[in-house]
């Protein structure tokens, strides 16, 4: 199957998924009163003042599917509603808070993947020996940690006990002023990248300092998960016939593991990485909340707690789209790595 037609096909599949997701969430929001649901349709604070008129305009007391249709129409015209908690349209809110989360993801993802794969390979290569047991215990403990608690403890130690070495939030107050000043050009709104592009060392360092703890908190659980998966998948690969062949050819053990076993072991890990990404979305909510790190996760939590339906729905939509896209990328990657699989999923 051609790559382009495959991509188009998968993107088309986005539609039923979005349909289902939004239907579900919309259904939940219907449990709220019309007054609360008004925010789904307005685009400025001023409009919020005349609620009965709004209810009339947007048909908030009409039957379910009429409303749903209405809302979908709104979405297509680019109106995702008004976010009460941050006082701006939902669409704007998403783009305002996204860079912060992206920054976390940029640092966390490579860490998770590389560290997870490395630890998993090591554990498998030293099966049943101290290194294996050690990494396994680390993984199980890491996996059992409540993320929010880990964050709190890290703050307690590194911010409290060590006098502000690694502080929460995105930037310290001085650096924040620098970043918002006229001299500092905002290319991406991602602090570290912008700092590099502006050749501003202090801002870069400050941003990095603030990133350390949230990235660690976010990563721990996921590293543990990937490590575990990598280990068992490596063990399975190492039991296969081609490994014996590789050894019989005279290859050094290191080559056998790294060249022959690992490539095969990565295949299931790649499949799973789409779900890990979803897990990251979870972790982001908690992490950002604890560290008062104003990204999308933080916004989502604020919205959920304060019953800001427009925001919640907007976030849900955004997430669904992201998830489908990520899975698409993962599936394509999968065919690159495993020559047995053709696009379209048929295994030969």
Site for other proteins in 301-320 (CB under 8 A): 301, 304-305, 307, 312, 315-316, 319-320
The answer to whether 225 contacts other proteins (rule: CB under 8 A) is no
Instruction: State the nearest-atom distance from the C-beta of 328 to other proteins, in Å.
Output: 12
- How far CA 308 is from CA of 32, 43, 82, 173, 314, in Å, comes to 11, 14, 9, 29, 10
User: Interface residues for other proteins in 138-177 (CB under 8 A)?
Assistant: 140-141, 143-149, 152-153, 155-156, 159-161, 163
User: Interface residues for other proteins in 100-129 (CB under 8 A)?
Assistant: none
Whichever of 130 and 199 has its CB closer to other proteins, that residue is 130
User: Interface residues for other proteins in 32-91 (CB under 8 A)?
Assistant: 32
The answer to whether 193 contacts other proteins (rule: CB under 8 A) is no
Instruction: State the nearest-atom distance from the C-beta of 75 to other proteins, in Å.
Output: 17
Q: Under a CB-based contact definition with an 8 Å cutoff, are residues 262 and 116 in contact?
A: no
- Select from 48, 53, 137, 177 the one that contacts other proteins (CB under 8 A): 137
- Select from 166, 220, 285, 328 the one that contacts other proteins (CB under 8 A): 285
Instruction: State the nearest-atom distance from the C-beta of 333 to other proteins, in Å.
Output: 14
Which range of residues in 48-56, 95-103, 110-118, 335-343 is near other proteins by CB under 8 A?
335-343
Whichever of 211 and 300 has its CB closer to other proteins, that residue is 300
- How far CA 318 is from CA of 91, 130, 189, 267, 312, in Å, comes to 10, 44, 19, 28, 10
Whichever of 179 and 238 has its CB closer to other proteins, that residue is 238
Residue 341, strand partner residues: 347
The answer to whether 29 contacts other proteins (rule: CB under 8 A) is yes
- Select from 2, 4, 16, 181 the one that contacts other proteins (CB under 8 A): 16
User: Interface residues for other proteins in 200-219 (CB under 8 A)?
Assistant: none
The answer to whether 287 contacts other proteins (rule: CB under 8 A) is no
Structure tokens belonging to residue 72: 């979908």
Which range of residues in 76-84, 132-140, 191-199, 208-216 is near other proteins by CB under 8 A?
132-140
- Select from 52, 282, 344, 345 the one that contacts other proteins (CB under 8 A): 282
Query: With helix as H, strand as E and coil as C, how does the chain read?
Result: CCHHHHHHHHHHHHHHHHHHHHHHHHHHHCCCCHHHHHHHCCCCHHHHHCHHHHHHHCCCCCCHHHHHHHHHHHHHCCCCCEECCCCEEHHHHHHHHHHHHHHHHHHHHHHHHHHHHHHHHHHHHCCCCHHHHHHHHHHHHHHHCCHHHHHHHHHHHHHHHCCCCCCCCCCCHHHHHHHHCCCCCCCCCCHHHHHHHCCCHHHHHHHHHHHHHHHHHHHHHHHHHHHHHHHHHHHHHHCCHHHHHHHHCCCCHHHHHHHHHHHHHHHHHHHHHHHHHHHHHHHHHHHHHHCCCCCHHHHHHHHHHCCCHHHHHHHHHHHHHHHHHHHHHHHHHHHHHCCCECCCCCEC
Instruction: State the nearest-atom distance from the C-beta of 348 to other proteins, in Å.
Output: 5
Whichever of 75 and 276 has its CB closer to other proteins, that residue is 276
Instruction: State the nearest-atom distance from the C-beta of 344 to other proteins, in Å.
Output: 16
Whichever of 178 and 307 has its CB closer to other proteins, that residue is 307
Tell me the site size for other proteins, rule CB under 8 A. 74
- Select from 176, 178, 236, 272 the one that contacts other proteins (CB under 8 A): 236
């Amino acid at each position: 199957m051609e790559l382009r037609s495959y991509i188009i096909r998968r993107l088309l599949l986005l539609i039923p998924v979005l349909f289902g997701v939004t239907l579900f969430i919309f259904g939940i929001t219907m449990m709220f009163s019309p007054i609360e649901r008004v925010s789904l349709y307005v685009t400025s604070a001023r409009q919020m003042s005349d609620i009965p008129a709004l209810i009339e305009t947007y048909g908030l007391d009409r039957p379910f599917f009429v409303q749903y249709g209405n809302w979908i129409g709104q979405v297509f015209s680019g109106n995702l509603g008004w976010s009460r908690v941050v006082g701006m349209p939902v669409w704007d809110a998403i783009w305002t808070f996204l860079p912060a989360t992206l920054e976390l993801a940029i640092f966390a993802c490579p860490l998770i993947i590389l560290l997870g794969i490395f630890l998993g390979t090591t554990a498998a290569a030293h099966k049943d020996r101290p290194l294996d047991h050690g990494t396994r215990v680390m993984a199980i403990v890491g996996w059992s940690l409540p993320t929010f608690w880990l964050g709190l403890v890290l703050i307690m130690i590194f911010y409290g006990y060590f006098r502000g070495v690694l502080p929460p939030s995105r930037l310290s107050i001085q650096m924040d002023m620098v970043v918002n000043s006229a001299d500092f050009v905002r290319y991406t709104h991602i602090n570290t990248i912008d700092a590099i592009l502006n050749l501003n060392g202090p801002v870069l360092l400050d941003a990095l300092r603030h990133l350390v703890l949230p990235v660690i908190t976010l990563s721990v659980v996921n590293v543990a998960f990937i490590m575990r998966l990598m280990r068992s998948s490596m063990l399975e690969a190492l039991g296969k016939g081609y490994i014996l062949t590789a050894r019989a050819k005279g290859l050094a053990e290191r080559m056998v593991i790294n060249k022959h076993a690992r490539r095969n072991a990565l295949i299931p890990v790649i499949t799973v990485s789409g779900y890990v990404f979803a897990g990251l979305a979870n972790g982001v909510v908690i992490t950002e909340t604890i560290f008062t790190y104003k990204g999308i996760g933080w916004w989502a939590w604020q919205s959920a707690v304060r019953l800001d339906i427009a925001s919640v729905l907007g976030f849900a939509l955004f997430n669904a789209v992201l998830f489908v896209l990520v899975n698409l990328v993962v599936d394509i990657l999968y065919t690159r790595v495993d020559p047995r699989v053709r696009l379209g999923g048929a295994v030969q």
